[in-house]
Structure 1
């Protein structure tokens, strides 16, 4: 297993999966709170943070499986943020017996068709060859208006700059995902699930959250007032409380 990870605390295992353009520092405020009660495993996804860049087509679900096997975990709680939520959802649908509970924070979802504004925004970022411009385009958008006006602005900016620069080391942007897409089989998600979203998040994130609520009416739903797409940085106590209450219920 070649991914960089850090472990803290003792107890039932909780694995943290960070968002895109970021790394395990996404959890730097949440992890210490959770580690008071659980064994917390945070890792840098492939191509992010201190983990190696993809040398071919990436398989993030297989990477998560490798993390669990490395720690010899029969099962664990998964906490996924944004694309980390996409990975956690696909993993849970593929290996339901390995997931005790599932926590999704503003998750992405395989098979979801993004809005035109989101698609155009991402295209502008991907067409830019200048890292500083990529960071500017990324963080000036709606999903980050709250965090970019907070004390965590510099942390997010540094994370984005580091990880967007690292993209140029990737052999390819391509990745493979389990089929069919999760959006077509979400009703099969039988694991206990908690969905968390910031009230100020972007339209696409809210649409995905609504889809989860519609398809999985028994799931727990938590909305964080005053948070955007980065509640892990701006509202860590509320995030940790929502996770802990869900796990202890």
Structure 2
């Protein structure tokens, strides 16, 4: 039965320390959460992948049990932290799975560390906020940043933001999981992430990615709809596109069985050993 293996928690480096959970042995697979998440978002997925790989989920800097940090965030900092995670596990290369902001980090990592990739799985992500209308960008920032700047805490905005991301068939358990993760956000680090993410554009250069790429999206994703995933798949040679039914933006939480089957089958096809 999947899930019996022990999930181990460790910390990578310092300044800031990066908290990771890992399970299994073999080729390294690293899971990266979205802007409102943490490593807990992958707990329905990690043990399944750990049956075949060494599956690792991180808390990005300023999230979960990872450290906060001084000064503004350069989005490239996330890619540098990911390289530290690979070093921590003694691996030159890894399969990278990123959801939403995690997908943007994966694309940036492909530019900065192309030699350290085995495959990339891009889930519910986009090629940059330049692809959103000005109204959509403004609403994204307003709904997340402005209430916090006005004195509210992450727990105060967690439920309405979570509901705006879920598909119509999402279970109450899935909603509760997302509300919990957003309630755990580090307020000031989250604001830094919003600013860095909206100002980043990863559209240019995706056609230079040469490792196998799997693009995944929820059929009912209200934030990054199928059209955005199709655009990514068209920009990367030989990319595979999978649409997960009965899922919104958090496809791995809303429909973990379908997500696990599709994502794991892709990795197994490209396993090196």
TM-score in terms of structure 1 length: 0.89
> In structure 2, how many angstroms separate the alpha carbons of the residues matched to 1:209 and 1:221?
8
Paired residue for 1:54?
69
1:63 aligns with 2:81: yes
> In structure 2, how many angstroms separate the alpha carbons of the residues matched to 1:189 and 1:171?
30
Q: Is the 8 A contact 2:18 2:59 kept in 1?
A: yes
Q: Is the 8 A contact 2:26 2:52 kept in 1?
A: yes
- 1:155 aligned residue (177, 181, 198): 177
Q: Is the 8 A contact 1:23 1:48 kept in 2?
A: yes
> In structure 2, how many angstroms separate the alpha carbons of the residues matched to 1:191 and 1:110?
21
SS across alignment from 1:64: helix
Paired residue for 1:6?
21
SS across alignment from 1:22: coil
For the aligned residue pairs, the C-alpha RMSD in angstroms reads: 2.3
Q: Is the 8 A contact 1:8 1:41 kept in 2?
A: yes
> In structure 1, how many angstroms separate the alpha carbons of the residues matched to 2:56 and 2:71?
26
Structure 1 residue 93: Cα displacement: 2.2
- 1:206 aligned residue (226, 239, 249): 226
**In 2 relative to 1, CA 171–207 (structure 1 residues): closer, same or farther, beyond 3 Å?**
closer
SS across alignment from 2:184: helix
SS across alignment from 1:233: helix
1:29 aligns with 2:47: no
**In 2 relative to 1, CA 186–247 (structure 1 residues): closer, same or farther, beyond 3 Å?**
same
**In 2 relative to 1, CA 102–55 (structure 1 residues): closer, same or farther, beyond 3 Å?**
same
Structure 1 residue 160: Cα displacement: 0.8
1:96-135 correspondence runs (5 A): 96-110=114-128, 112-115=130-133, 116-128=135-147, 129-131=151-153, 132-135=155-158
Structure 1 residue 140: Cα displacement: 3.1
> In structure 1, how many angstroms separate the alpha carbons of the residues matched to 2:255 and 2:191?
35
> In structure 2, how many angstroms separate the alpha carbons of the residues matched to 1:69 and 1:109?
27
- 1:17 aligned residue (11, 15, 32): 32
- 1:80 aligned residue (66, 79, 98): 98
Q: Deviations over 1:25-61 (max 9, x none)?
A: 1100000100011101111011111111131223111
Q: Is the 8 A contact 2:207 2:237 kept in 1?
A: no
> In structure 2, how many angstroms separate the alpha carbons of the residues matched to 1:52 and 1:203?
28
Unaligned 5+ residue runs, structure 2?
1-12
Between the two proteins, the alignment pairs up a number of residues equal to 244
